[in-house]
Amino acid sequence: MRHLYVHIPFCHRVCPYCSFYKHTPGNTPMAAFVDAVLAEAEMAGRDYDLKLDTVYFGGGTPTALSEVHLERLLTGLRERMDLTGVREFTCEVNPRTITDSKADMMRAQGIDRISLGIQAWDEETLRTLGRDHAPDDAEETFHTLRKAGFRSVSIDLMFSIPGQSLEAWRGTLERSISLNPNHISAYNLNYEEDTEFFERLRKGQYRVEEERDADFFYAALDQLNSAGYEHYEISNYARPGYRSIHNEAYWLGEDYIGLGPGSYSTAKDHRWQNIADTNRYIELLQSGQSAAQPGEALTAEQRRTERFGLELRTARGLPESLVKAPEQRMIRVLGEEGLLLVENGHIRLTRAGKPLVDSVAVALMGA
């Protein structure tokens, strides 16, 4: 087992588009929460042969934990797991949740990569998204992180947000580039079930416009490419040498273990989720039980389907060998239509094919 994910489900304010398991800290006993995660880490150490390459603290907002709790979590983790081989240790950060000393502590505890949730650089879009930071807050946080000396700082952006103009999006890309981050993630807004945005979409207040989505996608692709960022996954761009190793592991179908309430794990063709209820999670771990919920056993065909859906998203592409003989006709057809090309035994999407990954994947599966 080479990849570890830790889910910290706290946010000071819940964004109306987010579907991750999260909540405001409220009355959560933070010390008990940290203990529970550490207890789960200990369990994972017993159950799996951990040779960790990457660790990823996500949320929620990991930095919603106070410096004291976060430090205890990081120290505790190091005491229970061998992190010496870790090549990438990412922590998600939201603007206004970090101070110089907190950043220094994180750096000292081995975190070397930051994913900063900026989303947009204009106030109007930030308001639509329900973010509680102002553009200048985000910039300040970015400089704080740079000063602390993290190896890699990534910026998270979102596009095709209701009310967001293409100009505003280009402006957001420009200001991000001007900060010279090592990595940029650019996500098309997704209307996820059980979110307020989904409800507004359903009521007709918001609309999904495929053409608009495409225009925004290409704006990002072009602007980031010309600024020297490599498009290595549908929503991710990196300076050479700064791809996210942890996320690439997901896209290549590797196993990963998740700690914390609501986190997912995939190991040996099983996928499960921890109980998405922080209090229950703490109780279970306190009484020495696992927080894992019954999951699913993945068949070979299911895994193959996942590989199509994930690997086609990557710059490396999908091994051609995964396409069965009767399906190969479609490689030719889609190649002729300019959607993909085959190189070094891998099917890679072209500029036109990139935003059509799902349809291409389906077209290639099952003749």
Give the whole-angstrom CA distance, residue 144 versus residue 149.
9
Which of 176, 247, 259, 278 is the binder for other proteins (CB under 8 A)? Answer: 247
Q: Does 90 bind other proteins (CB under 8 A)?
A: no
Tokens 């929620």, located at residue: 60
Q: Which stretch binds other proteins (CB under 8 A): 62-70, 107-115, 284-292, 356-364?
A: 356-364
Closest by alpha carbon to 5, among 19, 20, 27?
Answer: 20
| Residues 23 and 11: beta-carbon distance below 8 Å | yes
271 near other proteins (CB under 8 A): yes
Member of 184, 256, 259, 291 binding other proteins (CB under 8 A): 256
User: Which residue from 16, 76, 309, 335 is in contact with other proteins, where contact means CB under 8 A?
Assistant: 309
Q: Does 197 bind other proteins (CB under 8 A)?
A: no
Q: Which of 150, 197, 250, 281 binds other proteins (CB under 8 A)?
A: 250
Among candidate residues 249, 306, 292, 276, the one with its CA nearest the CA of residue 7: 276
CB of 108 to other proteins, least distance (A): 27
> In whole angstroms, what is the distance from residue 338 CA to residue 333 CA?
9
Give the three-state DSSP class for 209: coil
Q: Are 359 and 210 in contact (CB under 8 A)?
A: no
Q: Is 365 in the site for other proteins (CB under 8 A)?
A: yes
Cα separation, 323 vs 301, in Å, equals 12
217 lines the binding site for other proteins (CB under 8 A): yes
What is d(CA 33, CA 71) in angstroms, rounded to the nearest whole number? Answer: 13
362 touching other proteins, by CB under 8 A? yes
- In order of 158, 159, 166, the CA distances from 171 in angstroms are 12, 11, 9
- Note whether 214 binds other proteins by CB under 8 A: yes
Instruction: Single out the residue of 154, 235, 285, 318 in contact with other proteins (rule: CB under 8 A).
Output: 235
User: Please, which residue, 163 or 366, has the CB nearer to other proteins?
Assistant: 366
What kind and span of H or E run contains 35? helix 30-47
Which strands make up the sheet holding 340-343, listed edge to edge?
A: 318-319, 346-349, 340-343
| 60 prior amide bond cis, ω within 30 | yes
Q: With CB under 8 A, what is the number of residues at the site for other proteins? A: 50
For other proteins, give the closer residue by CB, 176 or 247.
247
The answer to whether residue 131 forms part of the interface with other proteins (CB under 8 A) is no
Q: Does 302 bind other proteins (CB under 8 A)?
A: yes
Residue 198 is a binding residue for other proteins (CB under 8 A): no
The DSSP element (H or E) to which 238 belongs, if any, is strand 236-238
Tell whether the torsion through CA atoms of 93, 98, 103 and 106 is positive or negative. Answer: negative
Nearer to other proteins among residue 238 and residue 361 (C-beta): 361
Cα(107)–Cα(126) distance, integer angstroms:
28
Residue 306 within binding range of other proteins, rule CB under 8 A: yes
- The answer to whether the CB of 321 falls within 8 A of the CB of 345 is yes
Per rule CB under 8 A, is residue 267 in the interface with other proteins? Answer: no
Q: Does residue number 17 form part of the binding site for other proteins (CB under 8 A)? A: no
Question: Interface with other proteins includes 358 (CB under 8 A)?
Answer: yes
Residue of 304, 314, 155, 300 lying closest to 247 (CA atoms): 314
- String of contacts with other proteins for each residue 272-301, x by CB under 8 A: -x----------------------x-----
Q: By CB under 8 A, what part of segment 50-89 binds other proteins?
A: none
DSSP 276: S
- The answer to whether residue 206 forms part of the interface with other proteins (CB under 8 A) is no
Q: Which among 78-86, 90-98, 119-127, 185-193 is the span making contact with other proteins, rule CB under 8 A?
A: 185-193
Binding residues for other proteins, per CB under 8 A? 5, 20, 187-190, 210-211, 213-214, 217, 234-235, 247, 250-251, 256, 258, 262-266, 271, 273, 296, 302, 305-306, 308-310, 313, 330, 333-334, 337, 339, 354-363, 365-366
